[in-house]
Amino acid sequence: MSVYIKVSNLTKKFKGRTVVDELSFEARRGEVFGLLGHNGAGKSTTIETLLGLKKADGGTAEVLGMEPEKHRKEIFERVGVQLQSSNYQSTIRVGEICQEIAALYKNPADYRILLKRFGLEAFEKAQVNKLSGGERQKLSVLLALIPQPEIVFLDELTTGLDTAARREVWRTLKELKSEGTTLFLTTHYMEEAESLCDWICLIKEGKKIAEGTVQELIAKSPYANLEEAYLWYMGEEI
Amino acid sequence: MMKRFLKVYSIEQKLAFRSADGIIFGICMPVGIMVLIAMIAGEKVAGNQGYTYLDGSFASLIAVGICAAAFMGIPLTVADYRDKKILKHFFVTPCSPMLLLGTIFLCNMVTAVLSALAVTLTAVLGFGYRMVGNPVQFIGAWVLTLVSMFSIGLMMASVCRTVKSANAITSLVYFPMLFLSGATIPFELFPEGLQKISSVLPLTQGIKLMKTASMGMQTEKNGSIVLLLLGITLVCCLISVKTFRWE
């Protein structure tokens, strides 16, 4: 399997505090890669640094074999990104945000087909702000798919959603997974990681604690499920 | 690239029209004041220069649209888009956030143009206003005022980190500029002391330039006003580029 994302010794500091600490991992094509950790563990910073949004203080990151800082345009034609808790223009409608995003790419997907697929076609004329949390997050995933991407980055997609909405978003992600889309996601829901991720990387204070498949991580811990194993890895078992 | 820009622009322009702020503050307000001034004192002679209040107010009311776009439209939209991570999101697409900023700039320019057209039509058709001076010179003065005021707006957008501070700074700049520059309340009505304070405001200088052009008056001061406005544009653009943050 070819390596789609390669991160080596990535380091990012803010005002002398090391937020991402010599982090290394690889994500392979067709794989769902989960970056797990507590709030403030450096998950978002890792995504933003590896995508070149923030300048790394050390180490390298490659996406599709290219360094994002040098090949921004090429990479982002082929990669869809949803940043954490992003928002939209206050009066924009669903159809309009789709058109605006689609206008930025050379070969955008037909957003109407995507809307139908996500069960959002009835909302095309609705204001994005009037959507429910679950609908809005589905829209976020949809927008990340507009470039017809080879990799989709999703940062804390389901944080703040109620259980029903979260499950609906998961169903969408599972569909993507079954189609072979490479997904890179961050989460602090173990259930999400367990049901979606092929490979998990646990981080704490910007450092890698452990990585492997769900089964491997559980097997290496004294516990029988991921949640307890996670707490054990984090050194916070009860 | 042009096609992309126009598509994004057309959506941003729809959004701009959808929010009533630009239309109320940029277009309805100057037209309303124009109607009031024309009805109350249109034919009266303003100050001791021998022109009427209507003549004197025309140029300054044209500037209200610039004022609203530059000191409210631009900084508030940019601060809002930064806060909502919309600017940042453009970073993770093949397009630069500059594209989005360009469309914001253009939308606000459209507000200023529409405002100028509405004020002109009201003055000419409603109250028989005729420009004494050279319209080409007037348009030149308008463009220079617009560019220099927009550069101040861009600087405000860069310096303000949050929506909250953008709101505060906007009110702090917009209202004095609006009321003390002669844009709404005729400059001639100000007591001498206030006129001196008012002259410090950059918009006052822009309005002076537009006013003398509209009335065909040539004063030796105009050259220095042009230089001043160009200087403001240069300095503010530099500061806004230096201090700009996407997030």
Please provide residue A60's backbone torsions phi and psi, each rounded to the nearest 5 degrees.
-135, 160
Work out the number of other CB atoms within 10 angstroms of the CB of residue A34: 26
Residues in A touching B99 (Cβ below 8 Å): 104
Residue spans per domain, chain A = 3-233
Distances (CA, A) of B131 to B56, B188, B213: 11, 19, 9
Tell whether the model's pLDDT for residue B100 goes beyond 70: yes
Question: Which residue in A51, A76, A91 is closest to B18 by CB distance?
Answer: A91
A:B CB pairs within 8 Å: 69
pLDDT band at B49, cuts 50/70/90?
low
How far is it, in rounded angstroms, from Cα A109 to Cα B163? Answer: 34
In Å, how far from its chain's centre is CA B152?
A: 10
Model confidence at B23, pLDDT cuts 50, 70, 90, reads: confident
Q: Residue B115 is part of which domain span? A: 2-243
Count: domains in chain B: 1
- Whether residue A88 and residue B84 make contact (CB cut-off 8 A), yes or no, is yes
Task: Summarize the confidence of residues A3-17 as an average pLDDT.
Answer: 92
Averaged over A111-115, what is the pLDDT?
A: 94
Query: Which residues of B sit within 8 Å Cβ distance of A?
Result: 3-4, 7-8, 11-12, 14-15, 18-19, 80-81, 83-86, 88-95, 99
DSSP per-residue letters across B117-154:
HHHHHIIIIIH-----S-HHHHHHHHHHHHHHHHHHHH
pLDDT in tens, A187-232: 888 888 998 999 999 999 999 999 999 999 999 999 988 989 999 9
Q: A200 has which bridge partners? A: A34, A212
The identity of residue A147, as a single letter, is P
The minimum CA-CA distance between B9 and chain A, rounded to whole Å, is 9
Query: Minimal Cα distance from A51: which residue of B?
Result: B92
CB within 8 A of A44, min separation 6: which ones? A83, A84, A155, A156, A186
Alpha-carbon gap: A182 to the closest alpha carbon of chain B (Å): 17
Which of A76, A89, A99 is closest, CB to CB, to B92? A76
Band (B15; pLDDT cuts 50, 70, 90): very high
**Residue B160: is its pLDDT beyond 80?**
yes
CA distances from B36 to B22, B41, B112, B125, B127 (A): 20, 8, 21, 15, 11
Rounded mean pLDDT of chain B? 88
Residue type, B117: L
Q: Do B84 and A96 touch (CB under 8 A)?
A: no
The 10 Å CB-count burial string (b at 16+, else e) for A86-125 is bbbbeebbbbbbbbbbbbbbeebbebeebbeebebeebee
Contacts of A147 in chain B (CB under 8 A): 93
Binding-face residues of A in 84-113 toward B, CB within 8 A: 85-92, 96, 99-101, 103-106
The stretch B37-65 carries a mean pLDDT of: 79
Amino acid A149: pLDDT: 93
Q: Render pLDDT for A20-62 as a digit per residue (tens, 0 to 9).
A: 999 999 999 989 999 999 888 899 999 999 999 889 999 999 9
Residue whose pair of structure tokens reads 């606000």 in the numeric block: B108
- pLDDT recorded at residue A238: 64
Give the confidence band of A235 by pLDDT, cuts at 50, 70, 90.
confident
Residues 6+ apart with CB under 8 A from A2: A28, A29
Residue with tokens 């100050």: B47
Q: Could you say which of B11, B81, B86 has the minimum Cβ distance to residue A99?
A: B11
Question: What's the pLDDT band for A81 if we cut at 50, 70, 90?
Answer: very high
Q: Beta strand A207-212 with A32-36: parallel, antiparallel or unpaired?
A: unpaired
Output phi, psi for B244, to 5 deg. Answer: -65, 135
Instruction: Give tens-digit pLDDT for B124-154.
Output: 988 888 888 889 999 999 999 999 999 999 9
- Give burial (CB, 10 Å; 0-12/13-18/19+) of A142: buried
DSSP annotation of A66 reads B
Q: What average pLDDT does range B6-26 have in this prediction? A: 90
pLDDT given at position A1: 59
Please compute the mean of the pLDDT values over residues A83-99 and round it to a whole number: 90
Instruction: Give the pLDDT of residue A69.
Output: 85
Kindly tell me if the per-residue pLDDT of B46 is higher than 70.
Answer: no
Class of domain A3-233: alpha beta
Coil/strand/helix, residue B185? coil
What is the ipTM, given to two decimal places? 0.85
pTM flag (> 0.95): no
